[in-house]
């Protein structure tokens, strides 16, 4: 309920200011002359637009999409409410402000349309993000509490399954490690360290293929299983992922925290434990 208070006050203030403006500038029309069908239609549109505006403001984080959706609905509400008040209060036909308020209705529809376009792009990005976790969802695995990724045990299972595949398209495993992660924990606390893990996991997911599998291997180490990819291509992909993470602008306590990764890469062949141990030695040597 608390999330609705500020948006509700804002919407009520806009509608109240519009009502006071009409009351101060016009003459009340006798109730007998009111067109109840128009009042119901225009007033109902204003009420629904106000309700939708409240839902958007109270259920979404602030951002361009939220502002466009809420702004468009607020304009539709004010334009419809002005049309409704015209049925109850007689305003001089040449009043520019009255015409301007009524013109908010088509303007609001235009702004709302822009918000819906950006919302569609946002949903497409989220859908792509979810597809990259689909392999994990299908197995109904519990998620890592911090990163919402699978763990090392699940990674080992997938390595065994990849080794049993009949096709010889190849498969590569890349292990990533966050440089000087212990310093981030020491300087900013473990809560900030968790935020770093979440940010890095998100950036890696955004830059992986749908068929790739990202797991949190241990601590600040992430593993990416790349089916159908040879070692040279996997190294190219790993370098690209390192560049993407280093380009992030992560901040803690108002200061930018530089994030870099080092990686180890190898064909996903042999016993999982031996393969992972070999990659860990690569990481430690790096």
Per residue in 175-230, pLDDT tens?
A: 999 999 999 999 999 999 999 999 999 999 989 988 899 999 999 999 999 998 99
Predicted TM-score (pTM) of the model is 0.56
Q: Where are the domains of the chain?
A: 2-131, 141-285
The closest of 178, 269, 274, 268 to 219, measured between CA atoms, is 178
Helices vs. strands in the chain: H and E counts, helices first: 11, 8
Length of the chain: 286
Q: Could you report the per-residue pLDDT of 154-175, keeping only the tens digit for each? A: 899 889 888 877 565 689 999 9
- Which class in CATH covers the domain with range 141-285? alpha beta
Q: Is the pLDDT of residue 58 over 50?
A: yes
pLDDT at 83 (0 to 100): 86
Q: At what angle do helices 272-285 and 152-164 cross, to 10 degrees?
A: 120
pLDDT at 85 over 70: yes
271: helix, strand or coil = coil
Split at pLDDT 50, 70, 90, the class of 141 is low
* Chain mean position to CA 51: 23
Query: Rg of the Cα trace of the chain?
Result: 28
**pLDDT the model gives residue 142:** 53
- What are the φ and ψ backbone dihedral angles of 76, each rounded to 5 degrees? -60, -40
- Give alpha helix (H) positions in 103-218: 104-131, 134-138, 152-164, 181-188, 190-206
What is the mean predicted confidence (pLDDT) over 26-51?
Answer: 87
pLDDT at 140: 46
Decide: residue 258, CB within 10 A, 0-12 exposed, 13-18 middle, 19+ buried. exposed
Q: Are 89 and 26 within 8 A, CB to CB? A: yes
């Amino acid at each position: 309920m608390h999330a609705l208070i500020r948006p509700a006050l804002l919407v009520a203030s806009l509608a109240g200011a519009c009502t006071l403006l009409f009351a101060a500038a016009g003459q009340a029309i006798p109730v007998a002359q009111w067109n109840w069908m128009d009042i119901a239609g225009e007033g109902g549109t204003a009420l629904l637009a106000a309700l939708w505006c409240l839902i958007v403001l109270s259920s979404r984080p602030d951002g361009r999409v939220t502002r466009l959706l809420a702004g468009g609905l607020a304009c539709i509400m004010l334009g419809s409410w002005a049309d409704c008040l015209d049925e109850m209060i007689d305003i001089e036909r040449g009043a520019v402000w009255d015409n301007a308020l009524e013109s908010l209705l088509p303007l609001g529809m235009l702004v709302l349309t822009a918000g819906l376009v950006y919302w569609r792009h946002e949903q497409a990005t989220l859908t792509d993000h979810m597809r990259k976790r689909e392999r994990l969802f299908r197995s109904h695995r519990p998620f890592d509490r911090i990163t919402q990724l699978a763990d090392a045990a699940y990674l080992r299972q997938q390595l065994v399954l990849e080794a049993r595949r009949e096709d010889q398209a190849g498969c590569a495993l890349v292990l990533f490690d966050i440089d000087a992660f212990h310093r981030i924990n020491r300087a900013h606390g473990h809560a900030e360290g968790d935020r770093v893990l979440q940010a890095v996991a998100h950036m890696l997911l955004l830059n992986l293929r749908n068929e790739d599998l990202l797991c949190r291997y241990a601590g600040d180490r992430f593993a990416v299983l790349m089916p159908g990819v040879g070692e040279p291509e996997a190294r190219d992909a790993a370098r690209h992922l390192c560049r993407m993470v280093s380009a992030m602008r992560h901040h803690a306590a108002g200061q930018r925290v530089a994030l870099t990764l080092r990686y180890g890469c190898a064909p996903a062949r042999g016993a999982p434990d031996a393969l992972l141990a070999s990659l860990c030695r690569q990481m430690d040597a790096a």
